[in-house]
Copies of this chain bind each other. A is one copy, B any other.
């Protein structure tokens, strides 16, 4: 196990009806906020009304920024920074999933930075101060509700990059599993694949002797899978939602990353190139890329891939190599069985455009901890996605 520093100050309010507490939580920090959300589903499922009512009850006024899309973009962030400054807000409230939260984190950081906040994504500016951030989570996937990370796409440069800083941890995140009852099925599935991928990025980073973290990791994956399978049949099963919601948060709240080498993150890097170029959800992209990456790199740590197969899929083979390969096929098979794409074809990404993806990824290569990947490796992994 490696040395680590762990601190996660985010307060979680979990349960049905907890959105009514938002105003009370915000008012200690702000009397006026920027309220950020997506493309209006929250107005149909009642979440918007709950949010507005809670803010009003606590005399917190607000201005709005709406229309945040999946794979959120820098131009929208800049629009938010401008509004936040002009309106002199004192906090940002994200009502949505990872895209909305990450947009808010970047607005909250950009509020205090005179330059182009994209500098934070390319290492030219170290974020140390942000407006206070509050979250009402409407889709479980990225774990952004309880960490300091944000991923944004720069449309001009086609770069989907990230930053991570302690000032970006939300002050309070409200997780009401029941608001996810009405999610389109594919979004629940994408969220599950994203959460599993976060666990696996950390799990397969080559660090040895991390038993407690491996146990927690395997437990999170088994729970995500079991809960997802229930939700496919019963989307309004509260307990399955609750287990999935909390698992997805725990997947990337830092606990699971303690003692490791920071995670591998190659599959995320490759997927970010896919979703920077094509209209594909991050979770779907990961369902395609992750098993291919595993197949490409498993020889770097055969015993760990065998452990994964045995602990998550009850693979019985005593031969590590066989077990490792069977586990990878089982993961891919599970994604397919629940209805996620597992090939570029499934996602309607043209196979003859692989070079565009390789070129995009090459803006970040080399990446990866278990195996350092270069453009030629990315090309081979993409071929395994066919």
**22 sampled A-B residue pairs with Cβ under 8 A:** A3-B14, A3-B18, A4-B15, A5-B12, A5-B14, A6-B11, A6-B12, A7-B9, A7-B10, A7-B12, A12-B258, A14-B259, A209-B243, A211-B227, A211-B243, A212-B219, A212-B223, A212-B250, A215-B216, A216-B250, A218-B219, A255-B255
Binding site for B on A (CB under 8 A): 1-16, 18, 208-212, 215-216, 218-220, 222-223, 226-227, 239, 242-243, 246-247, 250, 255, 258-259
* Docked CA distance A4–B15 (Å): 7
Instruction: For residue A220, give the distance in angstroms from its CB to the closest CB of chain B.
Output: 7
Is B242 touching A1 in the complex (CB atoms < 8 A)? Answer: yes
Chain B, Cβ-Cβ closest to A17: B3
Instruction: For residue A73, give the distance in angstroms from its CB to the closest CB of chain B.
Output: 32
CB < 8 Å: which of B11, B212, B246, B259 contacts A212?
B246
What residues on B are CB-neighbors of A246 within 8 Å?
Answer: 1, 212, 258-259
Is B3 touching A16 in the complex (CB atoms < 8 A)? Answer: yes
* Docked CA distance A210–B247 (Å): 11
Chain B, Cβ-Cβ closest to A208: B239
* Docked CA distance A155–B15 (Å): 42
CB < 8 Å: which of B5, B215, B220 contacts A223?
B215
CB < 8 Å: which of B6, B18, B211 contacts A226?
B211
Is B16 touching A5 in the complex (CB atoms < 8 A)? Answer: no
